[in-house]
Amino acid sequence: MIKQSLLLFAVLLMFLTSCGPNVSVSTLTGKWKYIKIEHPNASPPDTVKKAELDQAVPYIQFTPEMKYLIVWENKFLSHGSFTLNGKNLNVTEKLPDGKTRDFVFTVSELTDSKIVFESSGPDGSKVTALRASKF
């Protein structure tokens, strides 16, 4: 009975881990236009208004060299590099003073045309973006 329970648990665990998005450099590479930004951990939770997104035209761009760039209102908001760990992007942001800051984006959905990723903590955000171009 214990053997069967362990086998069932192992199969269930493999199934659950295989259900996540397939995050790879090739699936990420390209420019992704933000269509929704939520702040679920804010008090109270909020969402950036569509009119603000339409005006700012924010996007994130991932390169095959594992670099990223975030643009907001045609200005560089953030840039740096990333590594992959399953569905997590371990991001190293280059700050203006030459220092770096590390954080994690967790990808909850990734298709050829759509990505949903989020950062954690009180300032965390959940971003939904559509692919604008592929390299």
Average pLDDT, integer, range 111-128: 92
Q: CA 51: distance to chain centroid?
A: 22
Q: Is residue 13 part of a domain?
A: no
Domain count, the chain: 1
Is the Cβ–Cβ distance between 122 and 128 less than 8 Å?
A: no
Domain harbouring 71, CATH code: 2.40.128.280
Least confident of 15-29, 35-49, 120-134: 15-29
Q: Is 133 exposed, middle or buried (0-12, 13-18, 19+ CB in 10 A)?
A: exposed
Confidence of residue 14 (pLDDT cuts 50, 70, 90): very low
Which range of residues forms the domain containing residue 105? 23-133
Q: Is residue 16 part of a domain?
A: no
Global pTM reads 0.81
Question: What tens digit of pLDDT does each residue of 37-91 get?
Answer: 999 888 888 899 999 999 999 999 999 999 999 999 999 999 999 999 999 999 9
